[in-house]
Amino acid sequence: MSSLAKTRLQTERKGWRKDHPHGFVAKPRTARDGSVDLLNWDCKIPGKAGTLWEKGLYPIRLEFTEDYPSKPPKVSFPAGFFHPNVYPSGKVCLSILNEDKGWKPSITVKQILVGVQELLDNPNNADAAQEAAYKLFKKSGAEYAKRVRIEAAKYTEAPAGFVAGGGATGAEDDVIVL
């Protein structure tokens, strides 16, 4: 007796497998017992070429509830992600994910991920979600760009043979000091 939410997510999964944008990853988690956790998806969004975010591959998590698709999923980057529209907890503030604004039950996982990719380079300071990025974005384009590049570098795979594993974590530590 599958729930409406899970039935829909199984359909979403099928739709994604059939067709999805290049460079994106989206898949439900696998639980320890080998079952598929349809309500929790791990995804990756590539930064758009030609933007400050390019080359990075950003992990985001989609958390659905049994009320999906009446309600949108919760979408989050890792906590502390630097972006004017990302809350300190990592949650993304985006109109299509807002039940009162743009959310419609027909919005697909693909549209959500493309929407978040779009948001990366088009921050909306009218709905700022964190102080740090908001202030920097307002203060100086150059400084903001510099900080974004540091953020992007955290999520850029090191070139082959450069640093195995741990490289990304090291970079992250440096950034926190900033």
Partner 1 sequence: MAPEMSDVELAKSSKVLMVGAGGIGCELLKTLVLSGFEDIEMIDLDTIDVSNLNRQFLFRKRHVGMSKAKVARETVLKFRPDARIVAHHGNVKDSSFDVDFVRTFDVVLNGLDNLEARKHVNRLCLAAEVPLIESGTTGYLGQVTAHVRGRTACFECNPKPVPKSHPICTLRDTPDKPIHCVVYAADLLFPRLFSADPNAKSDLDEEDAVELSAFTRSPGESPESFAVRVYDYVFRTKIERLLAKEEMWADEKRKKPTPLPAFTELVPEGPTAAAHGTDGLNGDGNNSNNTMTSTACKALGLRDAHAAWTDADAARVFVSSFARIVARDESDGNHGTDKFDKDDALAVEFVAATAALRSANYGIERKSLFDAKGMAGNIVHAVATTNAIVGGLIVIEALKVLRQRKAGGDAGGVATPVPCAPCPYRYTFVKQHKSNSRLLEPMEPDPPNKSCVVCGAARVELVCDVESMTLGRLIDEVLKKKLGMNAPEVNAPETILYEQDDGLDDDEIEQYAKNCKSTLANLPAGGVRHNTALRVSDFTQKFEFDLIVTHRPGDEWDDEEDPDGYVLRGDSVSAESNENNAANGENNEENGAVAEDVDDCLIVDDEDEIKAATATAGTKRKRDDDDDDNDGGGRGDAKEIRIE
Q: What is the binding site for partner 1 (CB under 8 A)?
A: 1-4, 6-8, 10-15, 17-18, 27-28, 30-31, 33-38, 66-67, 69-71, 79, 87-89, 91, 93, 97-101, 104-108, 125-132, 134, 138
CB nearer to partner 1: pick between 91 and 154: 91
d(CA 158, CA 46): 15
In this structure, what DSSP letter does residue 78 have?
S
User: Is 93 an active-site residue?
Assistant: yes
CB nearer to partner 1: pick between 66 and 118: 66
CB nearer to partner 1: pick between 118 and 170: 118
What the block records as the tokens of 112 is 């959500």
In angstroms, give the least distance from the CB of 29 to partner 1: 11
What amino acid is encoded at 175 in this protein? Answer: V
User: Cα–Cα distances in Å, from 2 out to 5, 26, 66, 101?
Assistant: 8, 22, 11, 29
Query: Which is the catalytic residue, given 5, 92, 93, 109?
Result: 93
d(CA 79, CA 88): 6
In angstroms, give the least distance from the CB of 69 to partner 1: 7
